[in-house]
Chains A and B, each alone.
Chain A
Amino acid sequence: MVSVGIDIGSTATKAVVFDGMVRGRAVVPTGWEPREAGLRAFREALSSAGLREESVSRVVGTGYGRVSLPFSDQRVTEISCHARGAWYLNPDTRAVIDIGGQDSKVILVSDDGSVSDFIMNDKCAAGTGRFLQVMAGILDLTLDELGSLAASSEPVPLTSMCTVFAESEIIGLLAQGTPKGAIAAGIIDAIARRMEGLVGRLEAHEGITFTGGLATNGSISGVIARRLGLSLHVPEDPQIVGALGAALIGCNA
Chain B
Amino acid sequence: MIHSETFAEIATLKERNLIALKEAREAGRHAVGTYCLFSPTELILAAGAIPVSLCGTSQKPIPAAEKVLPRNLCPLIKSSYGFAVTDTCPYFHFADFLLAETTCDGKKKMYELLGELKPIHVMQLPQIQDEAALDYWLMEIGRLKTRLEREFGVRITDKALTEAIRLMNEERRSLQALQDVCKAIPSPISGLDLLTVLHNRGFSVDRRAAIELVDRFAAELRQMAAAGISPFTESTPRILLTGVPVGVGSEKLIRIIEESGASVVCLESCGAYKKVEQVREGGDPLRAIAERYLKVPCSCMSPNTGRLELVERLTREFRVDGVVDLTWLGCHTYAVESSVLKKHLQQRTGLPFLQIETDYSESDTGQLKVRVEAFLEIVHRSMKRTA
Contacts and interface: CB of A to CB of B under 8 A. Distances in A.
A binds B: yes
Interface of A: 64, 76-80, 102-103, 114-118, 120, 122-123
Interface stretch (B221-229, B299-307, B365-373): B365-373
Nearest to B339: A201
Contact of A115 (B363, B364, B378): B378
B367 A79 contact: no
B9 interface: no
Given A78-B374, A115-B374, 20 more contacts: A64-B366, A76-B377, A77-B370, A77-B373, A77-B374, A77-B377, A78-B370, A79-B377, A80-B374, A80-B377, A114-B378, A114-B381, A115-B378, A117-B378, A118-B374, A120-B367, A120-B370, A120-B371, A123-B364, A123-B367
Contacts of B357: 122
Interface string B280-316: 0000000000000000000000000000000000000
A232 to B, nearest CB: 22
A134 B373 CA distance: 30
B119 to A, nearest CB: 38
B153 to A, nearest CB: 51
The list of the 6 closest CB pairs from A to B, nearest first, reads A79-B374, A77-B374, A77-B373, A80-B377, A114-B381, A115-B378
Nearest to B363: A123
B381 A79 contact: no
B322 to A, nearest CB: 12
A226 B373 CA distance: 33
Interface residues of B, number: 12
Contacts of B363: 123
Nearest to B377: A80
Contacts of B370: 64, 77-79, 120
17 contacts: A64-B370, A76-B377, A77-B370, A77-B373, A77-B377, A79-B370, A79-B374, A80-B377, A103-B367, A115-B374, A115-B377, A116-B378, A117-B378, A118-B374, A120-B370, A122-B357, A123-B367
Nearest to A75: B373
B381 to A, nearest CB: 5
A116 B351 CA distance: 11
Contacts of A118: 374
A162 to B, nearest CB: 12
Contacts of B374: 77-80, 115, 118
Q: Which of B371, B373, B374, B377 has the most CB atoms of chain A within a 10 A radius of its CB?
A: B374
A166 B366 CA distance: 26
Nearest to B346: A117
Contacts of A117: 378
Q: Which of B364, B370, B378 has the most CB atoms of chain A within a 10 A radius of its CB?
A: B370
Nearest to A108: B378
A117 B371 CA distance: 11
Q: Which of A77, A103, A114, A118 has the most CB atoms of chain B within a 10 A radius of its CB?
A: A77
A77 B373 CA distance: 7
Nearest to A123: B364
Contacts of B367: 102-103, 120, 123
B387 to A, nearest CB: 15
A80 B371 CA distance: 11
Interface in B123-158: none
A96 to B, nearest CB: 12
